[in-house]
Amino acid sequence: MPNAYISGTGFYVPPRVVTNDNLVADYGIETSNEWIVKRTGIEARRFAEEGVGTADLAYEASVQALERAGLTIADIDMIVFATLSPDYAFPGSGVLLQRKFNVAELDPPKFIPALDVRNQCSGFLYGLATAASMVQAGGCKHVLLVGAETHSAALDLSTTGRTVSSLFGDGAGAVVVSATDEDRGLRTWTLGADGRHAEELCQKVWDIKKRPFMNVDADGNGVVPPEDMWAHMNGRLVFKNAVQWMIVSLWKVCEEQGIGPKDIDLLVCHQANMRINQYVQQQLGLPDEKVVHNIDRYGNTTAATIPILLAEAERDGKLKPGMKVALVGFGSGFTWGAAILDW
């Protein structure tokens, strides 16, 4: 059975920088830079312009990942696309990304299968487990795995929505998961979920149990009440469960590999809240030089945070071949996961 390793990384964030002060000045949100930084560690985020969607961001990151892997889209056997903010309700963004590569125009045409993963902040880890399993089973040689988000179109950018809207930004990260006979790559992973808390971090928009699935006015227009249109979060419960399950998951994958936290060369946490990640770091006893962050610059890009971090760390020389890397994340559902890789 071949090993599965990450052969290429890439990321893309929109050029528009929105600082905490911009939230006040441009959107009239009653908050402050000090308030947001103290509670989240976020100083700025990126917002895509109108007309730019999730698949557009994903394409830019994917081109970079393919280039760094020394591959072309013709080498890819499957696309796995993780996102909270798909371009449409359906179809999934995976096929939209595939279309951007014009694979039907290749000689010969290659109709790459596309799979969408809807596990929000844990989406990349769920996608990594899926992609690696495909590779290890021999079904694929190269899988393009993407996490991409366009949050800015669906945020309540007002004082009412500030506790959620101040957290999120737009961006995309991509990796190529490839087969190898070398002794490297993904060593182990764990995933988990607790659906009892599904509505504690959610954005309903509609309810498919209703007939019709959303309210309709006299003219036949859909009407979405604010409590369904905007994201809802029970912050204290999310924080408590996040630190619990991120630590439990990390210990589990370390024990499966017969290693301890001190053996980890680089910890890559999902970037939801700097305070959560600092608590996890402290519990594991890891020094600052073994942990990477970018939440201060990009905010929470959900499924994109981990692959963006990997691409940045590799670009900046913080992630090097031979390193033992731990990945961990937690998000809506509640869902969580962790993985150990030998880079």
Active-site positions read 121, 270, 300
Q: How far is C-alpha 314 from the geometric centre of its chain's CA atoms?
A: 17
Strands in the chain per DSSP E: 3-12, 17-19, 44-46, 78-82, 114-117, 142-149, 171-180, 185-193, 201-202, 215-216, 222-223, 232-233, 266-269, 291-292, 324-331, 335-342
Start-to-end CA distance of the chain, whole Å, equals 18
Cis? peptide before 108, omega within 30° of 0: yes
Answer whether 339's CB lies under 8 Å from 189's CB: yes
Cis? peptide before 334, omega within 30° of 0: yes
Reported residue count of the chain is 343
**Distance in angstroms (rounded) separating the CA atoms of residues 338 and 343:** 15
